[in-house]
Structure 1
Amino acid sequence: MLAGSCHCGAVRFQVEAEITELTTCDCSLCVKKNAVMAKVHESALIVTAGEDALSLYRWNTGIARHYFCNRCGIYTFHRKRAAPDHFGVNVFCLDGFDWAAVPVRATEGVGMTLEDPDARPEWPGPRA
């Protein structure tokens, strides 16, 4: 079991999973977040405190749900678009986790379709 939190500690969570691979993503949002993530099943992520301090950001299809602490602004985790029953967890929020000891795989998000009629021109990806 791994404990995690945002920077200010308002949002706290646990991950009950063995993390054997990390990912990066080249979509327009993940590039700006500079996130390194661990993919875990939704049953493996438990918010233990501060659910009311989580802000939600949804864009494009609205399937992916990106959660941030509304006090310190740290991205904690997100529900994945490509695997909606999984979360991507920001490994830098995991207490004492040695992310450098786990292989990192780059994933391709830049080519995911844009289905939002108001998509910004700088968002890459094919338009639906």
Structure 2
Amino acid sequence: MRYHGSCHCGGIAFDVEGELTQVMECNCSHCSRKGFLMWFVSREQVTLKTPEANMAEYTFNKHAIHHHFCPQCGCAPLSFGTGPGGKAMASVNVRCLEGVDVTGLKHVQIDGRSF
């Protein structure tokens, strides 16, 4: 299935292809403060609809994940990084996808504080 996502103002827009069955709820200092519900997919499943230059970036801890946010509205719809096997990955903030009811998805708790 194809989903469309964006930041609040539309300055960052993207499509993501895949089967969304569960979200990961991380307790790290970043995700828990922002209320992220993350869906991890391969980077090739995400198609940016706006220029990458529209995105600001934030990294912390090991600086392995590039958390992208909109410098206009502050919304953080996705992140890019490398998975454990070396594959390019994307983490989509499911709360930024149109038409997705997060209450119907399985929520998996992740202990990101321990990473």
Runs of 4+ more than 4 Å apart? 80-84
* Residue number in structure 2 paired with 1:71: 72
Q: Secondary structure at the match of 2:95?
A: helix
Under a length normalisation based on structure 1, what TM-score does the superposition of the two structures give? Answer: 0.81
Residue 109 of structure 2 corresponds to which residue in structure 1?
A: 106
Q: What's the offset of the Cα at 1:2?
A: 0.5
Task: Work out whether residues 53 and 71 of structure 1, in 8 Å CA contact, stay in contact via their aligned partners in 2.
Answer: no
Aligned AA for 1:40?
V
Structure 2 alignment gaps of length 5 or more: none
Structure (1 or 2) with the greater helix fraction? 2
RCO higher in structure (CA 8 A, sep ≥6): 2
Which protein shows a greater Rg? 1
Separation in 2, partners of 1:4, 1:59: 24
Change over 3 Å in CA distance of 1:68–1:88 after alignment to 2? same
Task: Give the percent of matched residue pairs that are identical in Structure 1 and Structure 2.
Answer: 30
Gaps of 5+ in 1: 113-128
**One-letter identity of the residue aligned with 2:112:** G
Matched, 1:62 2:63: yes
Residue matched to 2:22: 21
CA RMSD of aligned residues (A): 1.5
Where 1:97 maps in the other structure, the secondary structure is coil
